[in-house]
Amino acid sequence: MAVLAVVGMAGLFYAIVGDAGCDTPPPKVTRKPDAAVLVKPPPLPAIVIPPEVPDAAIVIDEDTITREQVERLGLIGRYPKWVAGVLGDDPNWTPVAEHEDRIIWRNGNVVTVTFRIEHGRIAAMESAFNEKSLSADMTALSGLVVGNHNAIPMHWEEMEVHGGELRTGDFELEDGRVFFYRGRVRTEGQGPFGPESFDLRATPFP
């Protein structure tokens, strides 16, 4: 009877007090939601615009220039020695005369070319054509003055005479060089009428 009383008291005590050892709630684990991982893209490479570089053939030392470079550029601006240096071994060209201020050569098509010398350099080319010359004879001089990578851009050939007026102007090559020209178309004989004269220089005519 005493045992039952003790057990009853224990049950009553448990009902009133409860499980004191389990009264403390378990610690709360707070989990933050996975944040979106922002990955910064690598910086774009800087855009580097290279400086404009002129044609390598133009920036050149005249004292060390080679024949290949002269032929690429033409004789305008070169030392007078390069006239013979370029034309001397060409059987189509024959020297006519050489003076302090000019050098004269003639080709197999009877086109006479005078190279004008100013301040020790070839400053201009003056060409005189014959009564049968056509525009192709003028174009054939391109390598002498604008170089063998370029061509004189004019076509002077007409079926009818148009007065033979003086023609002047200028043109620019792809490498940036500018040339000034003047000349006339032939007015005598029979057509087609090609060039009578054609002069070219790198600076305006005086």
**Percent of the chain, pLDDT > 70?**
71
The 3-state DSSP class for residue 95 equals strand
Residue 192 scores a pLDDT above 80: yes
Q: What is the mean pLDDT of the chain?
A: 81
**Distance between the two ends of the chain, CA-based, in angstroms?**
146
pLDDT tens-digit map of 38-48: 666 676 666 65
On the question of pLDDT at 68 being above 70, the answer is yes
Output DSSP code: residue 191: S
Q: Is the pLDDT of residue 100 over 90?
A: yes
Give the pLDDT score at 191: 85
Top-confidence residue, 138 or 53: 138
Torsion of CA 63, 98, 101, 195, to 10 degrees: -100
Backbone phi and psi for residue 186, each to the nearest 5 degrees, phi listed first: -60, 145
For the ranges 11-20, 114-123, 143-152, 192-201, the lowest mean pLDDT is seen at 11-20
153-185 pLDDT per residue, tens: 989 998 887 767 899 999 999 889 999 999 999
User: Strand 178-185 relative to strand 195-201: parallel, antiparallel, unpaired?
Assistant: antiparallel
Mean pLDDT for 22-40 is 56
Structure tokens at 169: 């102007």
pLDDT score for 160? 85
